[in-house]
Amino acid sequence: MNITMDKRRDVAREIARGYCTLSPQGISTLGSILVPYKVTKGEKLLQEGDICKSMYYVDKGMVRQFYYKGGRDVTEHFSYEGRIVICIESFLKQNPSRLMVEALENSVLYGIPHDALLSLVETDKEMAQLYMRILEHALISSQEHADSQRFENATERYVRLLKSKPEIILRAPMVHVASFLQMTPETLSRVRSAYVE
């Protein structure tokens, strides 16, 4: 994809808006390392066994992180416009990932490469702060999801998702939503029909 520096700066500005304020210089610095990716629906951005060499900002579309357990496809996370997808253990350790990333819609993402970002983090306070904020957000989001699975019943999990991330309910296939909420599609169907706001 041939993307102008102006477009990269626009995307960098959007990333900053979601995580922390960057100066015009910080926006240009971040923009300079962004790598555009166009993925079609059903295409995998990351396969099991690949090393997560970038975190990805979703500019357009929707992707999911998932893995296989006992022959079942289990969705762990959804990302859509304005959000970042990162296989955090693989990204931090630069080890092969057990998670996969698949496009649920035709999508445009911008990679923030591990090596380029970490070399900036060493010398640039703004980039270090941005990196810390992105990791904080990913860890909190992961903890909230784990707590929801531990402490909430099926209806409570569905209502939480509906209120906090309605885009997922509206756009993702229900089989993946059910798997994300750790319930069968039949249970999700019952919960949805019984729940009236």
pLDDT in tens, 106-162: 999 999 999 999 999 999 999 999 999 999 999 998 899 888 888 999 999 999 999
Residues linked to residue 85 through DSSP beta bridges, in sequence order: 56
Which amino acid, residue 102?
E
Query: How confident is the model at residue 197, as a pLDDT?
Result: 56
Q: Across the 197 residues of the chain, what is the mean pLDDT of every consecutive 10-residue run?
A: 82 94 94 96 96 97 95 93 94 96 97 97 95 94 88 92 93 95 92 79
Q: In the chain, what are the domain boundaries?
A: 5-138, 152-197
Query: How confident is the model at residue 3, as a pLDDT?
Result: 74
| Structural fold of domain 5-138 | Jelly Rolls (2.60.120)
Cβ-contact 107, 78 below 8 angstroms? no
Question: CB neighbours (10 Å) of residue 47?
Answer: 12
> Encoding tokens for residue 150?
């531990």
Q: pTM here?
A: 0.92
4 CB-side CA count, 13 A: 3
